[in-house]
Structure 1
Amino acid sequence: MAGENHVYKRVHGTGDSSNIPENQFIPAHAAFDEENDGLLPVSMQDVSRNPTMKPSSSNSLPAKDRKAFIVLVILYLLQGVPVGLAFGSIPFLLKAKLSYSQVGIFSLAAYPYSLKLLWSPIVDAIYSPKVGRRRSWIIPIQTISGLTLLYLGSVIDSYVSDPAQNLTTITFCFFLLVFFCATQDIAVDGWALTCLSPEALSFASTAQTIGINAGYFSSFTIFLALSSPDFANKYIRSTPIDEGLFSLGSYLNFWGWMYLIVTGVLLLIPEDPPHLAKLNQAKLEDEKARVEKCYNNSSSNWSALKNVYFSMYQVLKLPNVQTFVVILLFAKLGFQANEAATNLKLLEKGLSKEDLSITVLIDFPFEMIFGYYAGRWSNGKSPLKPWLFGFAGRLVAAAFAQLIVLYFPSDGKLTSSYFLLIIVQHLLSSFMSTIQFVSLCAFHTKIADPAIGGTYMTTLNTLSNYGGTWPRLIIYYLIDKFTYNECIVNEKSVDIAAGVTVEGFKEQCKTLGGEVLTLRDGYYYTNFICVTLGVVILLWVKRKATYLQSLPSSAWRVVRED
């Protein structure tokens, strides 16, 4: 076994990294936003570890790498399926019967993807040489994931029919699924750099973009549309019925079997393609020597592993890093209500799931274009300048969202002009989010200490992603806390027992034959508070960010340069 350092990359939609300067990390961007992590660990066998190696500038994939490329696409696709459910579809399904606070509890299921740095060194350090460094993790993790999906497929429909009673179980099951996907992601990213020949390495990010986008798109846009009775009756069926084309349970069962089938095929695929076996063995020996030299000539993998975690601690002790960490943890507060609850509120107001799917579908190609141009803009001497621009833009998008929800048609019928405004708001929020994501990663690349570059970058990226994760539970709680409803029966207000949830209040009111009248909608109050806090934070962050990006490289070093 050999220890391994980490570098983290982002995956651009184009997958083209031929224009990346030497000594820099490969930029990249996943289909989902930064709350879905965007951190993709790779081994030391990267461009950043060997400045003389450039990614291939060829526009065609070599024939000898096509099989490996297809395998990578399939593995990334499988990874994107549970992620699309956990980050996209399931919260929408739950909100129909749960309060915002309860949906906030389910948001805990997304945490593993934002914190996978904590165990990624273990995935790299421990493996069976007979099975292979990456297959040692991919095969068992995919098997467990497939079995978990099959189990969930058999019970999830009954769970979702009464989510309040089964919320803890649903959250725990999807927490495990996301944890398995995050672990698989670590292994597959490392495998991508050894199963492709050196001249085809730039296609690793292409495989990732295609695969994860396809999986996420399948579990979010396609699932929401095809599982909707209204969509199926309107566009597919000639005779309407009260069911979609498939249920959540049958969808999970299908992907559970796909996981197991692909895992069975992986048993027949060698860790290293024949034409790369000798090259990868030489890289492995070189890497082992580098790791031992880097970590005081230690021959112990466990000692190297301990040093990786100690390096994270050293990074966080730096005064400038501590200031930057505070920014990362609180900078996303301003637009959290918008990004956590606006779509849910629109669905609550009467927006159909199929209309929401269309907005996501339209948003998809623009994500690719935004990522490309954001990357070009962030390559200057002031990478945090576009980040500040994106910060202000996301606050504008959050304020715009408040107006869209406020003026939702009272009769529930969407005009084409109003629907266009929803699409524009989605695109604005997506564009600004992408600008921030790409420019922030560019800044991380600029300040990272080369001696521990992978650990340095992933520590900052993980904290940045966590800054968009921890407020969600609080946001959902505040929306419910600020909301005040009355139950009107025969034009009179009726008292409902105290202590029930918002959704419980509505159910009791309907049982009494009454109508729920919302006197105060907590979404507006929470979003207003968030945007106001965001403006205050922006004024403070602007001054701090300008100062931090002006500092010399030595100010960010764990060990000062001579």
Structure 2
Amino acid sequence: MRSARTPKEPMAVTSSLNSIHISPRTPKTPRPNNMGDDEDDVELTLLNEDERVRSARNFLDDESSVSEAEHDMKPTISAKDRRGMVLLCVLYLLQGIPLGLALGSVPFLLKEHLSYSQLATFALSSYPYSLKLLWSPIVDSIFFKSFGRRKSWIVPMQIIVGSLMMYISFNVKRLMEDPAHNVIELTTVFTMLVTFSATQDIAVDGWALTLLSHDCLSYASTCQTIGLNTGFFASFTVFLAFNSEAFAAKWGVPHLTLAGYLRFWSIVCFVVTLWLIIFKKEDKEPANDADMSIKGVYRTIWTICQLRHVQLLVVVHLFAKVGFAANDAATGLKLVEKGFKREDLAIVVLIDFPFQIMGGWLAAKWSRGDRPLRPWIYAFWPRLVFALIAAFIVYFFPKPPIPMSFFVLLIIHTVLSSFASTVQFVGISAFHTRVSDPLIGGTYMTLLNTFTNMGGTWPKWFVLKGIDLFSVATCEVPQAAVHIKATECVSDHGKAACKDIGGKCVTHTDGYYTVTIICLAFGLIFLVAFIIPTARKLQRLPTSVWRVKMS
């Protein structure tokens, strides 16, 4: 294990525009600054009137031919870039498997046994994915040079993740039989799983900046979308469908247990890691005199955070997702609570999956122009509208069996809502890839992605807690005038007490709707007043102002 050497008196400073060379699309002849525009005037005065006109016409013809030639050139993807994209998709897939379990299927399995407050405790297991910036400098600075800067972390992290999934598979029955008494252990185990997956993500993000050519960097976010979404949905919807005994009996497919699913992906993780060790050689990065020690990278992070435009982007990220936080965190759980079957949910999302992939590809293309944040900004409006529609869907959800017309409405809503979400995810990821400095790629990408993830993570705990806080429910016992204090039938203790006396909890005020209104109101105001003008300002900045140099 090595750490890059530390030069004498290192200092991280913001680079000037002149310190980074950016090749223009159309070659232009430089001229000394002290001559100004007088040089052209002198040259033209040596020609007579006809010669000047002819010279100007020839110059315009040359410019036009160059422009037409550039227009006719179509970007091609090399075989090396295609192989790199496949590898990135696979690595992000392995990252999406544990995330789909921790953020998706396991909360659904626990919903029948835990209150929203207890689910909020389990939701803490997703926080490491949003806090990986804290240890990303270690990943960027310490590595085995002979083995590869990124492989030095990807390989051990995937081995640990595979081992943890194997461990959980052998203990899942004990943990899930009585989850109310094992919430802490479940949270701890899945927190570890997400932590090591997040560490793998730091290395993969950094590798993406050098694994793909400069012209294909915008497709790194597409690979992330395809890989993460495939892994997430495999662990969320596909698993929930095959884990349902009703679904297995209806379609004649084997019943899939959580233990069996974890063992399968544990083996896949080991196989891919073995292939990386034996067959994939990481290209050596060019030598440089930058301070890549742990201390130096942390200092660079501080320098980046001091940039005014980075601070504006951080504020945008931290509050951008509040508007649809209630929809993302609780709508699915509310639908299941209303009687929506897990196998029906799986069918809806399986139909939605191809549209997610298409949305990721289109967003990558839309983000390649001079306004890379445009698709990200536009997608805010449909996401807010769909969050409001989701609340109406929950409110008017019919008693099972669900009519086909309502089921079709759910499919259309899910497809359109997910499409908008994917466009936002890929759009902002493409922007991060575009402005990140490859020298500290893992750390720079992680810095920007951390605040994006944190913006979607931190509201979740407050949303789930707020649902219980604003809910009003009483315990009603048939043929008896017995009532328990309203809040007692919201907490886990109150529900258990009501069940012990043969009662039934009746909700009079559902806190889900109150939290949804609060989130939507804040999201709309913040979007119009801050996000839109700030994002338009940030995307007009040249790439060079986002770079730092370490000397």
Equivalence for 1:310: 299
Unpaired segments ≥5 residues, structure 1: 5-20, 25-53, 238-243, 274-279
Instruction: Report the CA distance between 1:195 and its aligned residue.
Output: 8.2
373-382 vs 522-531, greater mean Cα deviation: 373-382
Equivalence for 1:42: none
Instruction: Report the CA distance between 1:245 and its aligned residue.
Output: 1.1
Structure of higher RCO (CA pairs closer than 8 Å, 6+ residues apart): 2
Residues 171-192 of structure 1 show CA distances to partners (whole Å, capped at 9, x for unaligned) of 1111111111222234455667
In terms of Rg, which structure is larger? Answer: 2
Equivalence for 1:276: none
Instruction: Report the CA distance between 1:253 and its aligned residue.
Output: 2.9
Instruction: Report the CA distance between 1:395 and its aligned residue.
Output: 1.1
* Distance in 1 of aligned mates of 2:164 and 2:548: 46
Instruction: Report the CA distance between 1:308 and its aligned residue.
Output: 2.2
* Distance in 1 of aligned mates of 2:221 and 2:535: 31
| Structure whose residues are more often helix by fraction | 2
Equivalence for 2:466: 478
1:355 is the counterpart of 2:364 = no
Residues 394-428 of structure 1 show CA distances to partners (whole Å, capped at 9, x for unaligned) of 1101100010000000x321111111111222223
Residue type at the aligned position of 1:89:
S
SS at match of 1:408: coil
Equivalence for 1:101: 117
1:536 is the counterpart of 2:525 = yes
* Distance in 1 of aligned mates of 2:110 and 2:453: 24
Residues 525-561 of structure 1 show CA distances to partners (whole Å, capped at 9, x for unaligned) of 111111111122123125642663486549956789x
Maintained 8 Å contact 2:382/2:417 = yes
Equivalence for 2:281: 272
Residues 2-21 of structure 1 show CA distances to partners (whole Å, capped at 9, x for unaligned) of 659xxxxxxxxxxxxxxxx9
Maintained 8 Å contact 1:377/1:386 = yes
1:248 is the counterpart of 2:267 = no
Residue type at the aligned position of 1:254:
F
Equivalence for 1:46: none
Instruction: Report the CA distance between 1:124 and its aligned residue.
Output: 3.4
1:368 is the counterpart of 2:357 = yes
* Distance in 1 of aligned mates of 2:127 and 2:505: 35
Aligned CA distance change for structure 1 residues 270 and 445 (closer, same or farther; 3 Å): closer
* Distance in 2 of aligned mates of 1:385 and 1:192: 23
Equivalence for 2:199: 183
SS at match of 2:502: coil
Maintained 8 Å contact 2:170/2:259 = yes
Instruction: Report the CA distance between 1:385 and its aligned residue.
Output: 4.1
Instruction: Report the CA distance between 1:160 and its aligned residue.
Output: 1.7
Equivalence for 1:44: none
1:128 is the counterpart of 2:144 = yes
Aligned pairs for 1:196-207 (under 5 A) are: none
Aligned pairs for 1:225-244 (under 5 A) are: 225-236=241-252
* Distance in 1 of aligned mates of 2:451 and 2:248: 42
Residue type at the aligned position of 1:96:
E
154-163 vs 114-123, greater mean Cα deviation: 114-123
Instruction: Report the CA distance between 1:162 and its aligned residue.
Output: 1.5
Maintained 8 Å contact 1:221/1:357 = yes
1:78 is the counterpart of 2:94 = yes
Aligned CA distance change for structure 1 residues 55 and 213 (closer, same or farther; 3 Å): farther
SS at match of 1:517: strand
Tell me which of 334, 337, 345 is aligned to 2:334.
345
Aligned CA distance change for structure 1 residues 156 and 55 (closer, same or farther; 3 Å): farther
Maintained 8 Å contact 2:137/2:443 = no
172-181 vs 308-317, greater mean Cα deviation: 308-317
Instruction: Report the CA distance between 1:214 and its aligned residue.
Output: 3.9
Aligned CA distance change for structure 1 residues 264 and 464 (closer, same or farther; 3 Å): closer
* Distance in 1 of aligned mates of 2:93 and 2:546: 38
* Distance in 2 of aligned mates of 1:557 and 1:61: 28
* Distance in 1 of aligned mates of 2:214 and 2:134: 29
Unpaired segments ≥5 residues, structure 2: 6-21, 26-72
Equivalence for 1:32: none
* Distance in 2 of aligned mates of 1:558 and 1:259: 35
Maintained 8 Å contact 1:73/1:210 = yes
Maintained 8 Å contact 1:135/1:271 = no
The sequence identity of aligned pairs, in percent, is 45
* TM-score, normalisation: structure 1: 0.75
Tell me which of 503, 513, 537 is aligned to 1:514.
503
Tell me which of 212, 221, 229 is aligned to 2:237.
221
Aligned CA distance change for structure 1 residues 306 and 432 (closer, same or farther; 3 Å): same
* Distance in 2 of aligned mates of 1:377 and 1:75: 25
SS at match of 1:513: coil
Instruction: Report the CA distance between 1:264 and its aligned residue.
Output: 5.1
Residues 194-213 of structure 1 show CA distances to partners (whole Å, capped at 9, x for unaligned) of 88999999998787666544
Instruction: Report the CA distance between 1:170 and its aligned residue.
Output: 0.8
Instruction: Report the CA distance between 1:215 and its aligned residue.
Output: 2.9
* Distance in 2 of aligned mates of 1:542 and 1:189: 25
Tell me which of 125, 134, 146 is aligned to 1:118.
134
Aligned pairs for 1:487-502 (under 5 A) are: 487-491=475-479, 492-495=481-484, 502=491
Maintained 8 Å contact 1:325/1:463 = yes
Residues 496-541 of structure 1 show CA distances to partners (whole Å, capped at 9, x for unaligned) of 6976753443333233222221111111111111111112212312
Aligned CA distance change for structure 1 residues 3 and 393 (closer, same or farther; 3 Å): farther
Aligned CA distance change for structure 1 residues 245 and 444 (closer, same or farther; 3 Å): closer
SS at match of 1:180: helix
Aligned CA distance change for structure 1 residues 549 and 73 (closer, same or farther; 3 Å): closer
Residues 454-502 of structure 1 show CA distances to partners (whole Å, capped at 9, x for unaligned) of 7555423321221111111011000011111111112434226976753
Instruction: Report the CA distance between 1:257 and its aligned residue.
Output: 3.9
Instruction: Report the CA distance between 1:166 and its aligned residue.
Output: 0.9
Equivalence for 2:105: 89
* Distance in 2 of aligned mates of 1:23 and 1:459: 28
Residues 427-469 of structure 1 show CA distances to partners (whole Å, capped at 9, x for unaligned) of 2322222333344345556766899787555423321221111
* Distance in 1 of aligned mates of 2:211 and 2:325: 39
* Distance in 1 of aligned mates of 2:144 and 2:92: 23
* Distance in 2 of aligned mates of 1:511 and 1:103: 22
SS at match of 2:457: coil
Aligned CA distance change for structure 1 residues 84 and 172 (closer, same or farther; 3 Å): same
Instruction: Report the CA distance between 1:248 and its aligned residue.
Output: 1.5
Tell me which of 319, 335, 338 is aligned to 1:330.
319
328-337 vs 121-130, greater mean Cα deviation: 121-130
Maintained 8 Å contact 1:55/1:200 = no
* TM-score, normalisation: structure 2: 0.76
Aligned CA distance change for structure 1 residues 380 and 340 (closer, same or farther; 3 Å): same
Maintained 8 Å contact 1:334/1:532 = yes
* Distance in 2 of aligned mates of 1:77 and 1:57: 25
1:174 is the counterpart of 2:190 = yes
Tell me which of 512, 515, 523 is aligned to 1:523.
512
Residue type at the aligned position of 1:183:
T
SS at match of 1:467: helix
469-478 vs 326-335, greater mean Cα deviation: 326-335
* Distance in 1 of aligned mates of 2:314 and 2:212: 36
Tell me which of 139, 148, 158 is aligned to 2:174.
158
Equivalence for 2:412: 424
* Distance in 1 of aligned mates of 2:478 and 2:343: 35
* Distance in 1 of aligned mates of 2:92 and 2:433: 25
Equivalence for 1:390: 379
Equivalence for 1:10: none
